[in-house]
Amino acid sequence: MRKKIVAGNWKMNLAVNEGEKLVKSILDRLPKLKENRQVVIAPPFTHLIQTYYQTESIAYLNLGAQNCYSEASGAYTGEVSAAMLSSVGVNYVILGHSERREYFNETNAMLTKKVNRALENNLEVIFCCGEPLEIRTNDTQNEYVSKQIQEGIFQLTAEQFKSISIAYEPIWAIGTGRTATTEQAQLMHAHIRSVIADKYGVDTANKVSILYGGSCKPNNAAELFACADVDGGLIGGAALKADEFLAIINAMMHS
Ligand code: PGA
């Protein structure tokens, strides 16, 4: 059975002491999860060590980062390498989030390098894809997302591909309160799985966790996670509130 994952992406929110409090409130009520159910908390870089100390003893609670640099080390002022993340206990990294693509001009070619660096350092990658509104309006979202995946991660071997999860996040649904319908999510997730099957075979495709992201909240999580090809969620806004994040974890636990 493939892994179900709920990952909280805090983005650029909360001071370290606020993050510490949030993690504490999550830990106070975090249910015990089976091995194939995982939670990831991805705070800003400055919070990673603190969050590591708070969460290290819980096997199904993973520490994630929101980005890493495409080179291994050197004169890249202000950047953080995959090896550095690994050295503070990070085991997941989110790459290719639409905000990184849009505001920081991350291209598929750059993401290929980032993914390679992450895998060299034994990080699991949550690779994000998703189309803007005009692409959805033109009904060309399948081609758009296929290209992101093919250009971003199809350099990997089948063995390396085992360290990849995908997050499908339609840009028009991120932070807008507008969620994809379960039908839209399921259709795209099935499409992504078929693109992976064409390249790596059905067996590999069936093992890849494909998360949904974009206004995933306690009131729609259970319905989304009930879709055959939706294996959890990448959560933004609702990951900043312990009650909401826990409710989404509960929905994943029972899916
Ligand atoms: P949202 O963000 O849940 O606030 O829509 C999701 C994301 O960007 O990962």
Q: For residue 165, give both structure tokens.
A: 């999860």
Distance from C-alpha of 173 to C-alpha of 90, rounded to nearest angstrom: 28
- Say which CATH topology domain 4-253 has: TIM Barrel (3.20.20)
Check: CB of residue 94 under 8 Å from CB of residue 126: yes
Q: If you average pLDDT over residues 71-92, what whole number do you get?
A: 98
Q: Using CA positions, which residue lies closest to atom 6 of ligand 1?
A: 236
| pLDDT score recorded for residue 175 | 85
Candidates 67, 98, 178, 216: which one to mutate for ligand 1, based on the most atoms within 8 Å of Cβ?
A: 216
Q: For residue 179, give both structure tokens.
A: 């969620």
CB atoms within 10 A of CB 103: 9
Give helix then strand counts, H and E, for the chain: 12, 8
**101 alpha carbon – ligand 1 mean position (Å):** 14
In 3D space, the residue among 144, 155, 147 whose CA is nearest the CA of residue 118 turns out to be 155
Q: Check if 44 has its Cβ closer than 6 Å to any atom of ligand 1.
A: no
Q: If you average pLDDT over residues 165-191, what whole number do you get?
A: 94
> pLDDT exceeding 70 applies to what percent of the chain?
100
SS (H, E, C) 67-133: CCCCCCCCCCCCCCCHHHHHHCCCCEEEECCHHHHHHCCCCHHHHHHHHHHHHHCCCEEEEEECCCH
Is the confidence at residue 1, as pLDDT, over 90? no
Distance from C-alpha of 236 to C-alpha of 159, rounded to nearest angstrom: 30
> pLDDT exceeding 90 applies to what percent of the chain?
96
Q: Check if 220 has its Cβ closer than 6 Å to any atom of ligand 1.
A: no
Q: Is pTM beyond 0.95 here?
A: yes
Task: Delimit the domains of the chain by residue range.
Answer: 4-253
Mean pLDDT of the chain, nearest integer: 97
| pLDDT score recorded for residue 29 | 97
